């Protein structure tokens, strides 16, 4: 199942549910360099697995607190991401963005914070799907993305705007 069209997304049951929380201020995006776990060494947003009884937004805020020691104040849901890996792994992700937060972005055992200009994001050291949907998020557009991967190699994608 290397093509997005090969997957019955209505019946798709992801192995993991996770969130991403971006902080955007003016033309800057707060990102992390992951120090361990899935995606270690890549730049991304803080985020992680949904815990039982937790809403998507609660998860996104909690993960941001744990990874960067800050609390997003005005999170907004902007997108849904579905990743299907040919090895059988799968992730359903919900994407949030905020412009205000409390605290100071601080390095933790999971992540190192970095501010990047939205015009100069480090796509060379990010997941292959990121250049496809980040511009939509930054432009304030709502989206749903479906992606197939073989390890870190993207095989196919579909992006829908809402």
The DSSP-derived string for the chain is --SGGGS-TTT---SEEEEEEEEEETTEEEEEEE-SSTTTTSEE-SEEEPPTT--HHHHHHHHHHHHHSEEESS-EEEEEEEEEETTS-EEEEEEEEES-EEE-----SSEEEEEEETTS--GGGS-TTHHHHHHHHHTT--EEEEEEEETTEEEEEEEEE-
Q: Is residue 11 part of a domain?
A: no
Q: Is residue 104 part of a domain?
A: yes
Q: Write down the pLDDT at residue 99.
A: 97
pLDDT in tens, the chain (162 residues): 689 999 999 999 999 999 999 999 999 999 999 998 888 899 999 999 999 999 999 999 999 999 999 999 999 999 999 999 999 999 999 999 999 999 999 999 999 999 999 999 999 999 999 999 999 999 999 999 999 999 999 999 999 999
Q: Write down the pLDDT at residue 2.
A: 86
Judge contact between 4 and 154, C-beta under 8 A.
no
Q: Write down the pLDDT at residue 1.
A: 67
Q: Is residue 53 part of a domain?
A: yes
How many Å is the Cα radius of gyration of the chain?
Answer: 15
Q: Write down the pLDDT at residue 30.
A: 97
CATH number at residue 44: 3.90.79.10
Number of domains composing the chain: 1
Q: Is residue 105 part of a domain?
A: yes
Q: Is residue 5 part of a domain?
A: no
Q: Is residue 7 part of a domain?
A: no
Judge contact between 142 and 162, C-beta under 8 A.
yes
Q: Is residue 109 part of a domain?
A: yes
Domain region containing 123: 16-161
Q: Which of 117, 149, 115 is nearest to 132 (CA)?
A: 149
Q: Is residue 107 part of a domain?
A: yes
What count of other Cβ atoms lies within 10 Å of the Cβ of residue 103?
A: 12
């Amino acid at each position: 199942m290397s093509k997005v069209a090969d997957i019955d997304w209505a019946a798709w049951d992801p192995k993991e549910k996770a969130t991403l929380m971006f902080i955007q201020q003016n033309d800057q995006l707060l990102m992390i360099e992951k120090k361990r776990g899935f995606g270690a060494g890549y730049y991304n947003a803080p985020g992680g697995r949904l815990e039982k009884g937790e809403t998507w937004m609660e998860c996104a805020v909690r993960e941001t607190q744990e990874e960067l020691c800050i609390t997003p104040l005005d999170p907004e849901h902007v997108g849904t991401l579905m990743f299907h890996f040919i090895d059988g792994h799968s992730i359903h992700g919900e994407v949030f963005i905020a412009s205000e937060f409390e605290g100071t972005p601080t390095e933790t055992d999971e992540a190192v914070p970095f501010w990047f200009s939205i015009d100069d994001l480090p796509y060379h050291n990010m997941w292959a799907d990121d250049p496809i949907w980040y511009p939509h998020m930054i432009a304030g557009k709502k989206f749903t993305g479906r992606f197939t991967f073989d390890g870190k190699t993207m095989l196919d994608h579909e992006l829908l705007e809402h």
